[in-house]
Amino acid sequence: MSALFRGKTALVANIAHGLPGRAADEEAEFDSPETVEGIAASLRRAGLDVTVLEAGPDLPELLKKEKIGFVFNIAEGRGGRDREAQVPALLSLLGIPYSGSDALVMSLTLDKALTKRFASSFGIRTAPFFLASPGEEERIPELSYPVIVKPNAEGSGKGVSEHAVAEDREELSGILASLFRDYGGEMMVEAFLPGREFTVGLLGNGKDLCAFPPMEIVYEHPTQGKYAVYSYRIKKEYEKHVHYACPADIPADKAREMTEAAKTVFRELGCSDLARVDFRMDGNGDPCFLEINPLPGLAPGYSDFPMAAEACCLGYDELIRRIAEASLARLGLRH
Protein backbone atom coordinates (compact mmCIF):
# COMPACT_ATOMS: atom_id res chain seq x y z
CA MET A 1 0.00 0.00 0.00
CA SER A 2 1.34 3.47 -0.79
CA ALA A 3 1.95 5.74 2.19
CA LEU A 4 -0.63 8.45 2.92
CA PHE A 5 2.02 10.70 4.38
CA ARG A 6 5.77 10.32 4.16
CA GLY A 7 6.79 12.19 7.35
CA LYS A 8 6.48 11.10 10.94
CA THR A 9 3.07 10.94 12.58
CA ALA A 10 2.35 11.15 16.31
CA LEU A 11 -0.80 9.72 17.84
CA VAL A 12 -1.26 12.17 20.73
CA ALA A 13 -3.47 10.95 23.59
CA ASN A 14 -4.24 11.24 27.27
CA ILE A 15 -4.01 7.68 28.49
CA ALA A 16 -6.02 6.26 31.42
CA HIS A 17 -3.52 4.48 33.62
CA GLY A 18 -6.10 3.39 36.20
CA LEU A 19 -4.27 5.01 39.11
CA PRO A 20 -5.72 3.93 42.47
CA GLY A 21 -7.61 6.40 44.61
CA ARG A 22 -9.26 8.19 41.72
CA ALA A 23 -13.03 8.68 41.43
CA ALA A 24 -14.58 6.07 39.12
CA ASP A 25 -15.15 8.54 36.30
CA GLU A 26 -12.16 10.84 36.87
CA GLU A 27 -10.25 9.38 33.94
CA ALA A 28 -13.50 8.70 32.05
CA GLU A 29 -12.55 10.94 29.16
CA PHE A 30 -9.08 9.44 28.77
CA ASP A 31 -8.37 6.59 26.37
CA SER A 32 -7.33 3.14 27.55
CA PRO A 33 -3.90 1.82 26.52
CA GLU A 34 -5.76 -0.76 24.36
CA THR A 35 -7.66 1.95 22.47
CA VAL A 36 -4.49 3.94 21.86
CA GLU A 37 -2.66 0.83 20.62
CA GLY A 38 -5.68 -0.12 18.47
CA ILE A 39 -5.71 3.28 16.75
CA ALA A 40 -1.90 3.27 16.35
CA ALA A 41 -2.05 -0.20 14.75
CA SER A 42 -4.77 0.90 12.32
CA LEU A 43 -2.77 4.02 11.37
CA ARG A 44 0.29 1.84 10.76
CA ARG A 45 -1.73 -0.48 8.57
CA ALA A 46 -2.78 2.63 6.62
CA GLY A 47 0.90 3.16 5.91
CA LEU A 48 1.73 5.89 8.45
CA ASP A 49 4.95 5.91 10.48
CA VAL A 50 3.38 6.30 13.95
CA THR A 51 4.75 7.10 17.39
CA VAL A 52 2.43 7.36 20.42
CA LEU A 53 2.97 10.49 22.56
CA GLU A 54 1.19 11.35 25.80
CA ALA A 55 -0.32 14.81 26.05
CA GLY A 56 1.51 16.02 29.15
CA PRO A 57 3.66 19.07 29.91
CA ASP A 58 6.66 17.61 28.04
CA LEU A 59 4.72 17.21 24.78
CA PRO A 60 6.45 20.17 23.00
CA GLU A 61 9.91 18.63 23.57
CA LEU A 62 8.72 15.17 22.51
CA LEU A 63 7.22 16.51 19.29
CA LYS A 64 10.47 18.29 18.43
CA LYS A 65 12.68 15.37 19.40
CA GLU A 66 10.67 12.96 17.25
CA LYS A 67 10.52 15.46 14.34
CA ILE A 68 6.77 15.01 14.04
CA GLY A 69 5.18 16.27 10.81
CA PHE A 70 1.52 15.35 11.49
CA VAL A 71 -0.48 14.64 14.64
CA PHE A 72 -3.49 12.34 14.84
CA ASN A 73 -5.07 14.00 17.85
CA ILE A 74 -7.29 12.16 20.32
CA ALA A 75 -6.14 14.04 23.45
CA GLU A 76 -8.89 15.07 25.85
CA GLY A 77 -6.59 17.42 27.77
CA ARG A 78 -5.89 17.88 31.43
CA GLY A 79 -8.45 19.86 33.34
CA GLY A 80 -10.29 23.12 32.82
CA ARG A 81 -13.11 23.84 30.44
CA ASP A 82 -10.59 24.53 27.66
CA ARG A 83 -8.92 21.13 28.16
CA GLU A 84 -9.84 19.69 24.76
CA ALA A 85 -8.32 22.79 23.15
CA GLN A 86 -4.93 22.40 24.85
CA VAL A 87 -3.31 20.12 22.27
CA PRO A 88 -4.76 21.83 19.15
CA ALA A 89 -3.66 25.25 20.49
CA LEU A 90 -0.16 23.96 21.24
CA LEU A 91 0.14 22.36 17.81
CA SER A 92 -0.99 25.59 16.12
CA LEU A 93 1.68 27.46 18.06
CA LEU A 94 4.33 24.94 17.02
CA GLY A 95 3.08 24.94 13.42
CA ILE A 96 2.42 21.19 13.41
CA PRO A 97 -0.64 20.12 11.38
CA TYR A 98 -3.15 17.87 13.17
CA SER A 99 -6.32 15.90 12.64
CA GLY A 100 -9.69 16.98 14.00
CA SER A 101 -11.11 20.31 15.06
CA ASP A 102 -9.21 23.37 16.22
CA ALA A 103 -8.99 24.95 19.65
CA LEU A 104 -11.99 27.25 19.12
CA VAL A 105 -14.33 24.35 18.28
CA MET A 106 -12.97 22.21 21.11
CA SER A 107 -13.53 24.95 23.71
CA LEU A 108 -16.93 26.01 22.50
CA THR A 109 -18.38 22.50 22.20
CA LEU A 110 -17.24 21.49 25.67
CA ASP A 111 -19.68 24.14 26.91
CA LYS A 112 -23.08 22.54 26.37
CA ALA A 113 -25.03 25.77 26.91
CA LEU A 114 -23.00 27.79 24.41
CA THR A 115 -23.34 25.01 21.85
CA LYS A 116 -27.11 24.76 22.31
CA ARG A 117 -27.48 28.53 21.90
CA PHE A 118 -25.37 28.29 18.75
CA ALA A 119 -27.42 25.39 17.35
CA SER A 120 -30.74 27.07 18.06
CA SER A 121 -29.59 30.20 16.23
CA PHE A 122 -29.70 27.99 13.09
CA GLY A 123 -33.25 26.88 13.84
CA ILE A 124 -32.20 23.52 15.29
CA ARG A 125 -34.59 22.21 17.97
CA THR A 126 -33.04 21.85 21.41
CA ALA A 127 -34.64 21.47 24.86
CA PRO A 128 -35.13 24.58 27.04
CA PHE A 129 -32.60 24.97 29.85
CA PHE A 130 -31.11 27.31 32.37
CA LEU A 131 -27.65 27.41 33.92
CA ALA A 132 -27.32 27.11 37.68
CA SER A 133 -24.25 28.49 39.47
CA PRO A 134 -23.01 27.43 42.90
CA GLY A 135 -24.39 29.64 45.67
CA GLU A 136 -27.37 30.74 43.60
CA GLU A 137 -29.72 27.86 44.50
CA GLU A 138 -32.34 30.39 45.58
CA ARG A 139 -32.58 31.69 42.04
CA ILE A 140 -34.15 28.62 40.45
CA PRO A 141 -36.76 29.90 37.97
CA GLU A 142 -40.24 28.42 37.49
CA LEU A 143 -39.81 25.24 35.44
CA SER A 144 -41.89 22.45 34.08
CA TYR A 145 -40.68 19.16 35.50
CA PRO A 146 -39.09 16.66 35.12
CA VAL A 147 -35.68 18.20 34.42
CA ILE A 148 -32.24 16.60 34.10
CA VAL A 149 -29.16 18.20 35.66
CA LYS A 150 -25.74 17.77 34.07
CA PRO A 151 -22.38 19.50 34.48
CA ASN A 152 -22.23 22.13 31.74
CA ALA A 153 -18.64 21.39 30.76
CA GLU A 154 -18.13 17.64 31.15
CA GLY A 155 -18.32 14.78 28.68
CA SER A 156 -18.48 10.99 28.47
CA GLY A 157 -21.54 10.89 30.73
CA LYS A 158 -19.58 12.33 33.66
CA GLY A 159 -21.96 13.52 36.37
CA VAL A 160 -24.96 12.45 34.28
CA SER A 161 -27.22 9.80 35.77
CA GLU A 162 -30.80 8.65 36.14
CA HIS A 163 -30.52 10.04 39.69
CA ALA A 164 -29.99 13.50 38.25
CA VAL A 165 -33.60 13.77 37.10
CA ALA A 166 -35.76 15.99 39.33
CA GLU A 167 -39.54 15.96 39.52
CA ASP A 168 -39.89 19.07 41.66
CA ARG A 169 -37.98 22.03 43.01
CA GLU A 170 -36.95 20.32 46.23
CA GLU A 171 -35.45 17.37 44.40
CA LEU A 172 -33.71 19.77 42.03
CA SER A 173 -32.07 21.65 44.93
CA GLY A 174 -30.74 18.36 46.35
CA ILE A 175 -29.32 17.21 43.00
CA LEU A 176 -27.71 20.62 42.38
CA ALA A 177 -26.09 20.61 45.82
CA SER A 178 -24.55 17.17 45.29
CA LEU A 179 -23.35 17.89 41.74
CA PHE A 180 -21.83 21.24 42.78
CA ARG A 181 -20.00 19.38 45.53
CA ASP A 182 -18.72 16.57 43.27
CA TYR A 183 -18.00 18.44 40.04
CA GLY A 184 -18.03 22.19 40.65
CA GLY A 185 -18.72 24.64 37.84
CA GLU A 186 -22.06 25.51 36.31
CA MET A 187 -24.86 22.97 36.00
CA MET A 188 -27.22 22.75 33.07
CA VAL A 189 -30.82 22.19 34.15
CA GLU A 190 -32.59 20.97 31.03
CA ALA A 191 -36.15 19.83 30.27
CA PHE A 192 -36.13 16.03 30.40
CA LEU A 193 -36.71 14.56 26.94
CA PRO A 194 -38.67 11.33 27.37
CA GLY A 195 -38.22 9.99 23.82
CA ARG A 196 -35.86 7.75 21.91
CA GLU A 197 -32.12 8.49 21.77
CA PHE A 198 -29.83 8.70 18.72
CA THR A 199 -26.34 9.64 17.71
CA VAL A 200 -25.09 10.70 14.28
CA GLY A 201 -21.47 10.18 13.20
CA LEU A 202 -19.91 12.66 10.75
CA LEU A 203 -16.81 12.10 8.65
CA GLY A 204 -15.04 14.33 6.12
CA ASN A 205 -15.04 18.00 5.19
CA GLY A 206 -16.69 20.48 2.85
CA LYS A 207 -18.61 18.85 0.02
CA ASP A 208 -17.26 15.45 1.06
CA LEU A 209 -18.78 15.64 4.55
CA CYS A 210 -20.88 12.55 5.08
CA ALA A 211 -23.20 11.51 7.90
CA PHE A 212 -23.70 7.93 9.02
CA PRO A 213 -27.39 7.12 9.45
CA PRO A 214 -28.67 7.86 12.98
CA MET A 215 -27.80 5.07 15.41
CA GLU A 216 -30.38 4.45 18.14
CA ILE A 217 -29.34 3.66 21.70
CA VAL A 218 -32.08 1.22 22.69
CA TYR A 219 -32.55 0.65 26.41
CA GLU A 220 -33.10 -3.03 27.26
CA HIS A 221 -35.14 -2.43 30.39
CA PRO A 222 -36.92 0.86 29.85
CA THR A 223 -39.35 0.15 32.66
CA GLN A 224 -36.72 -0.78 35.23
CA GLY A 225 -35.57 2.72 35.99
CA LYS A 226 -38.13 5.46 35.56
CA TYR A 227 -35.78 7.60 33.51
CA ALA A 228 -33.46 5.99 30.99
CA VAL A 229 -30.20 7.95 30.75
CA TYR A 230 -27.07 7.04 28.80
CA SER A 231 -24.84 7.66 31.80
CA TYR A 232 -21.19 6.83 32.40
CA ARG A 233 -22.31 3.69 34.30
CA ILE A 234 -24.55 2.50 31.44
CA LYS A 235 -21.83 3.28 28.86
CA LYS A 236 -19.32 1.23 30.88
CA GLU A 237 -21.62 -1.81 31.12
CA TYR A 238 -23.47 -1.21 27.89
CA GLU A 239 -23.87 -4.89 27.03
CA LYS A 240 -26.18 -5.33 30.04
CA HIS A 241 -28.29 -2.26 29.51
CA VAL A 242 -28.52 -1.19 25.88
CA HIS A 243 -28.21 -2.35 22.33
CA TYR A 244 -27.56 -0.29 19.25
CA ALA A 245 -29.66 -0.12 16.10
CA CYS A 246 -28.03 1.39 13.04
CA PRO A 247 -29.66 2.50 10.86
CA ALA A 248 -32.34 3.29 13.43
CA ASP A 249 -35.86 2.19 12.60
CA ILE A 250 -37.39 5.67 12.18
CA PRO A 251 -39.25 7.55 9.44
CA ALA A 252 -36.99 8.92 6.71
CA ASP A 253 -37.93 12.53 7.49
CA LYS A 254 -36.81 12.19 11.14
CA ALA A 255 -33.53 10.58 10.07
CA ARG A 256 -32.95 13.36 7.54
CA GLU A 257 -33.76 16.03 10.10
CA MET A 258 -31.06 14.66 12.41
CA THR A 259 -28.37 14.19 9.76
CA GLU A 260 -29.03 17.68 8.35
CA ALA A 261 -28.98 19.27 11.81
CA ALA A 262 -25.74 17.43 12.62
CA LYS A 263 -24.11 18.62 9.39
CA THR A 264 -25.30 22.20 9.92
CA VAL A 265 -23.79 22.39 13.41
CA PHE A 266 -20.54 20.79 12.13
CA ARG A 267 -20.23 23.20 9.20
CA GLU A 268 -21.30 26.38 10.96
CA LEU A 269 -18.98 25.75 13.90
CA GLY A 270 -16.12 25.02 11.52
CA CYS A 271 -15.47 21.46 12.75
CA SER A 272 -12.95 19.30 10.92
CA ASP A 273 -12.70 15.67 9.86
CA LEU A 274 -15.00 13.93 12.35
CA ALA A 275 -17.61 14.48 15.05
CA ARG A 276 -20.57 12.79 16.68
CA VAL A 277 -23.84 14.55 17.42
CA ASP A 278 -26.30 13.34 20.10
CA PHE A 279 -30.07 13.74 19.90
CA ARG A 280 -33.08 12.74 21.96
CA MET A 281 -36.75 12.96 21.02
CA ASP A 282 -39.24 15.06 22.94
CA GLY A 283 -42.75 13.91 23.88
CA ASN A 284 -43.94 14.59 20.30
CA GLY A 285 -41.28 12.37 18.75
CA ASP A 286 -39.33 15.34 17.39
CA PRO A 287 -35.53 15.06 17.66
CA CYS A 288 -33.78 17.63 19.86
CA PHE A 289 -30.06 18.41 19.67
CA LEU A 290 -28.16 17.52 22.88
CA GLU A 291 -24.51 18.13 22.04
CA ILE A 292 -21.75 17.74 19.45
CA ASN A 293 -18.54 15.82 20.26
CA PRO A 294 -15.66 16.88 17.99
CA LEU A 295 -13.46 14.27 19.72
CA PRO A 296 -15.76 11.25 19.65
CA GLY A 297 -14.54 8.12 21.42
CA LEU A 298 -12.75 5.72 19.06
CA ALA A 299 -12.42 2.64 21.28
CA PRO A 300 -12.70 -0.39 19.00
CA GLY A 301 -15.81 -2.47 19.75
CA TYR A 302 -16.98 -0.01 22.43
CA SER A 303 -17.40 3.58 21.27
CA ASP A 304 -20.53 4.74 19.45
CA PHE A 305 -18.70 6.33 16.50
CA PRO A 306 -16.94 3.15 15.27
CA MET A 307 -20.16 1.20 15.86
CA ALA A 308 -22.12 3.58 13.63
CA ALA A 309 -19.35 3.34 11.01
CA GLU A 310 -19.47 -0.46 11.17
CA ALA A 311 -23.15 -0.35 10.33
CA CYS A 312 -22.17 1.48 7.12
CA CYS A 313 -19.75 -1.36 6.31
CA LEU A 314 -16.81 0.77 7.40
CA GLY A 315 -14.62 -1.52 9.50
CA TYR A 316 -12.31 -0.12 12.16
CA ASP A 317 -9.12 0.04 10.06
CA GLU A 318 -11.03 1.64 7.21
CA LEU A 319 -12.60 4.23 9.55
CA ILE A 320 -9.25 5.28 11.05
CA ARG A 321 -7.70 5.44 7.57
CA ARG A 322 -10.59 7.60 6.32
CA ILE A 323 -10.19 10.03 9.25
CA ALA A 324 -6.44 10.35 8.54
CA GLU A 325 -7.11 10.73 4.81
CA ALA A 326 -9.75 13.42 5.37
CA SER A 327 -7.43 15.47 7.53
CA LEU A 328 -4.33 15.04 5.34
CA ALA A 329 -6.40 16.05 2.30
CA ARG A 330 -7.79 19.10 4.15
CA LEU A 331 -4.27 20.10 5.18
CA GLY A 332 -2.89 19.62 1.67
CA LEU A 333 -0.48 16.98 2.99
CA ARG A 334 -1.92 13.88 1.40
CA HIS A 335 0.77 12.11 -0.50
Binding partner at 127 among ligand ADP, Mg ion, none, C-beta below 5 to 8 Å by kind: ligand ADP
Q: Is 192 in the site for ligand ADP (CB under 6 A)?
A: yes
Nearer to ligand ADP, 27 or 325 (CB): 27
Nearer to Mg ion, 40 or 275 (CB): 275
Q: Is 98 in the site for ligand ADP (CB under 6 A)?
A: no
Q: Is 113 in the site for ligand ADP (CB under 6 A)?
A: no
Select the residue whose beta carbon is closest to Mg ion and give its number: 278
From 107-115, 188-196, 209-217, 276-284, span contacting Mg ion (CB under 5 A)? 276-284
Candidate list 257, 278, 310, 325; residue touching Mg ion; CB under 5 A: 278
Neighbours of 3 (CB within 10 A): 11
Q: Is 148 in the site for ligand ADP (CB under 6 A)?
A: yes
Rounded least distance, CB 297 to Mg ion, Å: 10
Candidate list 59, 172, 193, 250; residue touching ligand ADP; CB under 6 A: 193
Rounded least distance, CB 154 to ligand ADP, Å: 6
From residue 317, give the alpha-carbon distance in Å to each of 64, 130, 241.
Answer: 28, 42, 27
Binding partner at 310 among ligand ADP, Mg ion, none, C-beta below 5 to 8 Å by kind: none
From 5-13, 56-64, 93-101, 273-281, span contacting Mg ion (CB under 5 A)? 273-281
From 19-27, 106-114, 176-184, 277-285, span contacting Mg ion (CB under 5 A)? 277-285
Candidate list 30, 70, 212, 230; residue touching ligand ADP; CB under 6 A: 230
Candidate list 278, 304, 310, 325; residue touching ligand ADP; CB under 6 A: 278
Rounded least distance, CB 61 to Mg ion, Å: 34
Residues 71 and 91: beta-carbon distance below 8 Å: yes
Q: Is 262 in the site for ligand ADP (CB under 6 A)?
A: no
57 CB-near residues (< 8 Å, 6+ apart): none
From 34-42, 153-161, 205-213, 299-307, span contacting ligand ADP (CB under 6 A)? 153-161
Q: Is 316 in the site for ligand ADP (CB under 6 A)?
A: no
- φ, ψ (nearest 5 deg) of residue 302: -135, -50
Which 3-state string (H, E, C) describes the chain? CCCCCCCEEEEEECECCCCCCCCCCCCCCCECHHHHHHHHHHHHHCCCEEEEEECCCCHHHHHHHCCEEEEEECCCCCCCCCHHHHHHHHHHHHCCCECCCCHHHHHHHHCHHHHHHHHHCCCCCCCCEEEECCCCHHHCCCCCCCEEEEECCCCCCCCCCHHHEECCHHHHHHHHHHHHHHHCCCEEEEECCCCCEEEEEEECCHHHCEECCCEEEEECCCCCCCCCCCCHHHHHCHHHHEEEECCCCCCHHHHHHHHHHHHHHHHHHCCCCEEEEEEEECCCCCEEEEEEECCCCCCCCCCHHHHHHHHCCCCHHHHHHHHHHHHHHHCCCCC
Q: Is 111 in the site for Mg ion (CB under 5 A)?
A: no
User: Which residues of the chain form contacts with Mg ion (CB under 5 A)?
Assistant: 278
User: Which residues of the chain form contacts with ligand ADP (CB under 6 A)?
Assistant: 127, 148, 150, 155-157, 160, 190-193, 197, 229-230, 278, 280, 290-291
